[in-house]
C-alpha cells in the first residue's frame, strides 16, 4: 500500500498544521491508509504553543514529495499550487481538504475534494471524523480546536461560519479546555513579535496570489498593539523591498491585525499601489493606511485585491 503525505501550505499557520495532522489521523483510523502529516515549514509560535499544550511533536518539515519516495499527496488548508510543496506538479494530488477559493488548480486524475466555506480546514476535518464515527483523542481535538480558533480569531472573524461555534464547543469539551481561556492564551502566544527580525516578521503568515498576471504577496501578523509593529516600519519596509526583488513579487501587502479590537493597518509596497488603494477605498500615507474592522485576509483583503487587480 502506497504512503500518502498530508500537508498544509507553505509558511504553515496553526490551521495548516492542525488540519493535516487531523486528516492524517482520519486516513489511518477511518480509511485504513498509510498517511503521515508533514509540514512545509517550521511551526510559528502560536502553533508551537498548541503543539506543546497538547503534547504533540511537530510534524517533520519536508521540501520535496518525490524525495520522500511518495507519489500521492493530500492537501489541507490550501489548493493553489504556488502555495504548496515545490514539486507538487510531479506527484498525484489524491485529495484536497480546504476552505479557501479554488485557483490555479488542475489534476490529471479524479480526486477527492472537500471544499466548504467554513472558518477553518480543521472544522471540516472534525465533521468528517463525526461522519465516520471516529472518536478523536484529546490531542487531535485540541489541535483542531486550535486551528479553528486561530483562523477565526476566537470566532470573531467574519469568516466564522454559523456551524463553527458548535464545532468549537464540542472540540473544547473533547480537549478538556475552556474555550475562551484557552483561545486567548493561544492567540496571545502568536503576538510575540519583538524577538523576530523584520524578514521573519513578514514571513510568519504569508501567501502568494496570482492576480491578473501579478504575483502579489499578502502577509498577516497579529498583535495587541499595532503601533508596536509600525514603530519598526523602516526595517520592515527594507525587508519587504528585498523580498520583492529576490522573490519576484509585483506587490507586497502586510496586514497588521489588532486581535483585541478587531482592526488592521495595511502596509503596502510595490508597483500597483493604485490598485491596492482602489481595493480598500483608502489612500496610503507613508505606505500604510487603517482598515477598520478587517481581521480576515481570506474574506476582507484577498477578494478585494482580486477584484481591483482584475478591473
Binding-site positions read 9, 13, 15, 77, 99, 151
Q: Which of 270, 28, 282, 15 is nearest to 160 (CA)?
A: 15
Handedness of CA 253, 153, 136, 177 (dihedral sign): positive
Task: Let me know: does 144 contact 125? Beta carbons within 8 Å.
Answer: yes
Feature table: binding site for Mn(2+): 9, 13, 15, 77, 99, 151
Task: Let me know: does 295 contact 156? Beta carbons within 8 Å.
Answer: yes
User: Quick check: helix, strand or coil at residue 294?
Assistant: coil
Residue 3 CB-density burial (10 A; 0-12 exposed, 13-18 middle, 19+ buried): middle
Q: What angle do CA 62, 41, 169 make, to 5 degrees?
A: 115
Q: Which of 171, 222, 247 is nearest to 13 (CA)?
A: 222
Q: Which of 25, 110, 134, 29 is nearest to 76 (CA)?
A: 25
Residue 265 cell numbers, joined: 493597518
**What is the gyration radius of the CA atoms in the chain, in angstroms?**
19
How far apart are the C-alpha atoms of 220 and 301, rounded to whole Å? 10
| Residue 112 DSSP label | E
Task: Let me know: does 57 contact 99? Beta carbons within 8 Å.
Answer: no
* CA 181 vs CA 17, 92, 148, 193, 258: distances in Å: 21, 41, 15, 21, 18
Amino acid at each position: 500500500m502506497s504512503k500518502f503525505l498530508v500537508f498544509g501550505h507553505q509558511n504553515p499557520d496553526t490551521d495548516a498544521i492542525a488540519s493535516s495532522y487531523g486528516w492524517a489521523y482520519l486516513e489511518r483510523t477511518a480509511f485504513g491508509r498509510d498517511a503521515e502529516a508533514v509540514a512545509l515549514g517550521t511551526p510559528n509560535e502560536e502553533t508551537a504553543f498548541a503543539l506543546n499544550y497538547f503534547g504533540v511533536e511537530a510534524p517533520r518539515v519536508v521540501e520535496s514529495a518525490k524525495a520522500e519516495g511518495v507519489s500521492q499527496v493530500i492537501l489541507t488548508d490550501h489548493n493553489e499550487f504556488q502555495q504548496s510543496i515545490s514539486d507538487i506538479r510531479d506527484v498525484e494530488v489524491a485529495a484536497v481538504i480546504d476552505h479557501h477559493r479554488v485557483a490555479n488548480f488542475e489534476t490529471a486524475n479524479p480526486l477527492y475534494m472537500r471544499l466548504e466555506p467554513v472558518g477553518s480546514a480543521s472544522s471540516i476535518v472534525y465533521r468528517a471524523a463525526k461522519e465516520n464515527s471516529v472518536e478523536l483523542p484529546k490531542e487531535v481535538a485540541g489541535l483542531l480546536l486550535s486551528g479553528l480558533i486561530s483562523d477565526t480569531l476566537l470566532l470573531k472573524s467574519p469568516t466564522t461560519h454559523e456551524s463553527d461555534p458548535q464545532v468549537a464547543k464540542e472540540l473544547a469539551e473533547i480537549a478538556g479546555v475552556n474555550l475562551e481561556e484557552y483561545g486567548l492564551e493561544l492567540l496571545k502566544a502568536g503576538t510575540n513579535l519583538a524577538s523576530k527580525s523584520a524578514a521573519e516578521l513578514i514571513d510568519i503568515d504569508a501567501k502568494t496570489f496570482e492576480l491578473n498576471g501579478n504575483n502579489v504577496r499578502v502577509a498577516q501578523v497579529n498583535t495587541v498593539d499595532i503601533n508596536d509593529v509600525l514603530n519598526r516600519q523602516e526595517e520592515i519596509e527594507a525587508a519587504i523591498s528585498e523580498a520583492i526583488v529576490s522573490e519576484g513579487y509585483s506587490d507586497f501587502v502586510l496586514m497588521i491585525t489588532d486581535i483585541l479590537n478587531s482592526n488592521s493597518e495595511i502596509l503596502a509596497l510595490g508597483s500597483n499601489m493604485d490598485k491596492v488603494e482602489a481595493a480598500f477605498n483608502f489612500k496610503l500615507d507613508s505606505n500604510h493606511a487603517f482598515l477598520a474592522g478587517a481581521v480576515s485576509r481570506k474574506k476582507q483583503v484577498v477578494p478585494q485585491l482580486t477584484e481591483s487587480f482584475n478591473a
